[in-house]
Amino acid sequence: MDQFAVKIFVRLRPSVLDPAGEATKSASIKLGVEGIKSLRIGKMIEVKIEGNGENEVREKIDLLCDRLFANTVIEDYEYSLEKL
């Protein structure tokens, strides 16, 4: 069995308003940082997972992302794997 460290990023789709991102953008400007064009908040999920090779682990992660980690009505996801 191989073990992988997976980092999954879940983001609101571009078409979905992100009011928390807008509020944070507004605070960032109040902090005095200039030049912020866009700010959107997502989630990062870290998973350590075992499987027979990268393909099998990708299948498991795809299922997790599609059915649990992200709601694909409103969110997109992407991930990176690192073999441990």
Partner 1 sequence: MDNFTVGVVVFPGSNCDRDVSWALEGCLDIRTKYLWHESSDLSDVHAIVLPGGFSYGDYLRCGAIARFSPLINALDEFVKSGKRVLGICNGFQILTESGFLPGALVANKNLNFICDDVELDIVSSKGGWFNNGDEKQTIKLPIAHGEGRYHCDSDTLKKLVDNELIALRYKNNPNGSSFDIAGITNARGNVLGLMPHPERACDETIGGTDGLFTLKSLILK
Contact residues for partner 1, defined by CB under 8 A:
12, 15-17, 19-20, 23, 68-69, 71, 73-74
Strands, E assignment, 15-71: 43-51
CA distance 9 to 78: 5
Are the beta carbons of 2 and 57 closer than 8 angstroms?
yes
CB nearer to partner 1: give 12 or 61. 12
CB nearer to partner 1: give 3 or 26. 26
Minimum CB–partner distance for residue 76 and partner 1 (Å): 13
Minimum CB–partner distance for residue 75 and partner 1 (Å): 8
Pick from 1, 2, 7: nearest CA to 77: 7
